[in-house]
A and B are shown apart, each in its own frame.
Chain A
């Protein structure tokens, strides 16, 4: 696998500087999003990872540098043509009251539809497949705002899937969800890359989930990329200290071999030296 020549990246950012109003966030970032892989942007709050994702998604226009899709400046493409290649799920999307799951997923067909030309059969097939893949078919006719957080996020992912794009960018798709739900979502997303050849770029907050699911890990701090590569190479105690200012030990998952970080704790270590059984006994008595 590794000896095979890698497909040239379709989405690249060159010397990107970008930010909001007068506050610059990205400070000269170069990134080529690896084809057919799941790449995770990781960094502390304010490191510029969401800004980088938004700039690559053309939601933000860089103040200098450029984003290229298939070698051409993304802002020179028609936005509808970009939308046929690249799907976006922004952070914390908000569905209007009463919108049903099926209607939301159907919105993913927008870039493929014209007022005078709509392929109903193709649309219906894409919508159905996306709903099956994201496992939202069971509540297709319910309104999105009445679902749980995890279900709702699966609906949004289904919408992006119905768009049938090779590139998918997701900004913190797992934030505020239960751990189990996060794991399920990441399983779903990594299957998209590994079994369906899609290219995924996502911003994650959880270090260990990022290390477990990323094929490529991009670590950012202060608007710059500090480290970029497979987790086994990049996810080190040295980088965690440098990027997050976190003192942690990096171990290896005995099952998968992916790295895991365990922060050094002082309070926790002290608590563990105390005997824990009397606590249980006391509770059992009372």
Chain B
């Protein structure tokens, strides 16, 4: 360290221990995730021994369970990881932008837009078009809804609070339309729509994984490049502007990242967006302040949540395969109530 003479050595040490602690925490979360992925790979309706899994991984052509491992479990758990990470990062962005811990990708209409598009697709085109087009339809719905919310909230600038209010209003309207469509469509389409709305990774395929991956690879570095802007915006608009943050540009970039991540995740896995509310919270408890630190930790936590929610859904109620969304909400809802309670306690 070349500048150690100019710095108070004790503060340098504090910064270093902070960094070391963060790095080890991130490493630990990564290891837990890897171990959990291993666990998820080994568990399922068809009993598989650990050795067999390894053999199937290493030499699929010699294994009887290669299909189960490679085509059923692996893409599904990878999609769970990607979707969880994407929703968590999307939530971290929104919570930071709105400066409100209760924000999530839901509040700017992403989920309800995707849901409306998906249900419309199932009701109108479900019989004529392949189900493989469902993610594309849902993604288009999510992006359109976010754009609409943005345009309606626009008043020469984007005030995050207005964005949220417009988003909640529009979500309610789209929710009503979604319900209407489910009620009037036939039973099979309604059932598919309902499972999709709950959020499920059932029958995930490699093409879903490959469809999801680019969104994360593009949006995550893009939002990390705005990390210092985000930290400045946490001090309030006037201070951030005084520090030289171009509020409009930063917000547009960050919102685009959030919409892309959440939209893609919802498109491939349905209504799991509660992850976007709770994962950033858990992560910020672990790593403290700073958006650049929060994003990787939130991504890992989000991945773990969806991975375990899906694992539970797959194996806890055999032979039923329950949607992961049930478990995400099962844990998420009590946590949400706890957050509300805690916020009220603090401000009161």
Chain A residues with CB under 8 Å of chain B are 54, 57-59, 78-84, 86-90, 93-96, 98-100, 102-104, 107-108, 110-111, 113, 115, 120-121, 124-125, 128, 140-141, 160, 163
The reply on B228 being an interface residue by CB < 8 A is yes
Q: Say yes or no: A110 contacts B238, CB within 8 Å.
A: no
The reply on B24 being an interface residue by CB < 8 A is no
Selected contact of B236 from candidates A90, A121, A128, CB within 8 Å: A90
Contact A108-B243, Cβ < 8 Å, known A59-B238, A90-B238, A115-B225: yes
Apart from A57-B242, A82-B244, 6 more pairs, CB < 8 Å: A58-B241, A78-B244, A83-B244, A94-B235, A120-B3, A141-B11
Contact A110-B11, Cβ < 8 Å, known A59-B238, A93-B236, A96-B289: no
Number of interface residues of B (CB under 8 A): 26
Instruction: Kindly state the separation between the CA atoms of A111 and B239 in the bound complex, as whole angstroms.
Output: 12
Q: Say yes or no: A103 contacts B289, CB within 8 Å.
A: yes
B62 to chain A, nearest CB (A): 49
Q: Chain B binding site: helix, strand, loop or mixed by DSSP?
A: loop
Contact A83-B242, Cβ < 8 Å, known A93-B235, A121-B6: yes
Instruction: Kindly state the separation between the CA atoms of A113 and B8 in the bound complex, as whole angstroms.
Output: 22
The reply on B231 being an interface residue by CB < 8 A is yes
B231 to chain A, nearest CB (A): 7
Residues of B with C-beta under 8 A to A82: 244
The 9 listed contacts between A and B (C-beta, < 8 Å) are A57-B238, A78-B244, A83-B244, A84-B244, A89-B239, A107-B243, A110-B243, A111-B243, A115-B225
The reply on B246 being an interface residue by CB < 8 A is yes
Q: Say yes or no: B245 contacts A110, CB within 8 Å.
A: yes
Residues of A with C-beta under 8 A to B242: 57, 59, 83, 86-90, 160
Q: Say yes or no: A83 contacts B236, CB within 8 Å.
A: no
Residues of A with C-beta under 8 A to B245: 79, 110
Residues of B with C-beta under 8 A to A103: 289-290
Closest to B243 in A: A110
B100 to chain A, nearest CB (A): 11
Q: Say yes or no: A98 contacts B236, CB within 8 Å.
A: no
Q: Say yes or no: A110 contacts B289, CB within 8 Å.
A: no
Chain B residues with CB under 8 Å of chain A are 2-3, 6-8, 11, 14, 99, 225, 228, 231-232, 234-236, 238-239, 241-246, 288-290
Instruction: Kindly state the separation between the CA atoms of A180 and B146 in the bound complex, as whole angstroms.
Output: 51
Closest to A80 in B: B244
Residues of A with C-beta under 8 A to B238: 54, 57, 59, 88, 90, 93
Instruction: Kindly state the separation between the CA atoms of A140 and B228 in the bound complex, as whole angstroms.
Output: 20
Q: Say yes or no: B235 contacts A95, CB within 8 Å.
A: yes
Instruction: Kindly state the separation between the CA atoms of A119 and B288 in the bound complex, as whole angstroms.
Output: 25
Selected contact of A140 from candidates B2, B11, B234, B241, CB within 8 Å: B11
A77 to chain B, nearest CB (A): 10
Q: Say yes or no: B3 contacts A98, CB within 8 Å.
A: no
Residues of B with C-beta under 8 A to A57: 238, 242
Q: Say yes or no: A96 contacts B234, CB within 8 Å.
A: yes
Instruction: Kindly state the separation between the CA atoms of A82 and B245 in the bound complex, as whole angstroms.
Output: 10
B7 to chain A, nearest CB (A): 6
Instruction: Kindly state the separation between the CA atoms of A87 and B290 in the bound complex, as whole angstroms.
Output: 22
A111 to chain B, nearest CB (A): 4
Q: Say yes or no: A124 contacts B6, CB within 8 Å.
A: yes
Residues of A with C-beta under 8 A to B232: 107, 110
B282 to chain A, nearest CB (A): 15
Instruction: Kindly state the separation between the CA atoms of A83 and B243 in the bound complex, as whole angstroms.
Output: 5
Closest to B244 in A: A83
Residues of A with C-beta under 8 A to B2: 121
Contact A94-B236, Cβ < 8 Å, known A80-B246, A120-B3, A128-B7: yes
B98 to chain A, nearest CB (A): 13
A13 to chain B, nearest CB (A): 17
Residues of A with C-beta under 8 A to B228: 110, 113, 115
Closest to A90 in B: B238
Instruction: Kindly state the separation between the CA atoms of A77 and B254 in the bound complex, as whole angstroms.
Output: 23
Residues of A with C-beta under 8 A to B289: 96, 98-100, 103
Contact A59-B11, Cβ < 8 Å, known A80-B246, A103-B289, A110-B232: no
Q: Say yes or no: A88 contacts B244, CB within 8 Å.
A: no
Contact A107-B235, Cβ < 8 Å, known A80-B246, A99-B289, A120-B3: yes
Which 8 residue pairs spanning A and B have beta carbons closest together? A83-B244, A88-B242, A80-B244, A90-B238, A111-B244, A110-B243, A121-B3, A96-B234
Residues of A with C-beta under 8 A to B225: 115
Contact A141-B14, Cβ < 8 Å, known A98-B288, A115-B225, A124-B6: yes
Instruction: Kindly state the separation between the CA atoms of A125 and B235 in the bound complex, as whole angstroms.
Output: 22
